[in-house]
Amino acid sequence: MWSQRRVVDYGLAKKAVVRSLRAGRSARGDVCDAQPYLLRAARHFGEPTERLCPVCERENVTNVTYVYGDALGRQAGQAKVVSELVAMAHDYDEFRVYVVEVCQGCSWNHLTVSYVLGNGPPDLVGQA
């Protein structure tokens, strides 16, 4: 997306959780604990993926995208479809986006990536 910046990828954390589960150091109930609201958001606002759930390995995960920021007002904390983010990036100076992958079969959920969008000034990297 044109204004995406300050990207944080949580892939290593996800791998550690899955590894811990497979090694028996974590219980399935500890990682497959999606709240009913998150499962509803996945059903109504989620975007299907081709990635198999790393826990049950029966269903593909769904990405649910949430937006947060002071400038968003009532929209803060809402689930959005990716197509809505383009218009929002033009309308707001800055807001943070969080993408959570959810398995609607076993309730696995994990934050996959977060980033900032908006039409505010770009980040000045390396300048004091």
Model pTM score:
0.89
For residue 98, the surrounding DSSP H or E stretch is: strand 95-102
Show me where the domains of the chain are located: 10-20+32-117
Burial profile 39-71: b = 16 or more Cβ within 10 angstroms, e = fewer: bebbeebbeeeeeebbbeeeeebbbbbbbebee
Q: Secondary structure of the chain: what % helix, strand, coil (to 5)? A: 35, 30, 35
Each of the 128 residues of the chain gets a pLDDT tens digit; together they read 567 889 999 999 999 999 999 999 999 999 999 999 999 999 999 999 999 999 999 999 999 999 999 989 999 999 999 899 999 999 998 999 999 999 999 999 999 999 999 987 666 555 44
Measured CA to CA, the distance from residue 79 to residue 67 in angstroms comes to: 7
Angle formed at CA 114 by CA 111 and CA 116, multiple of 5 degrees: 160
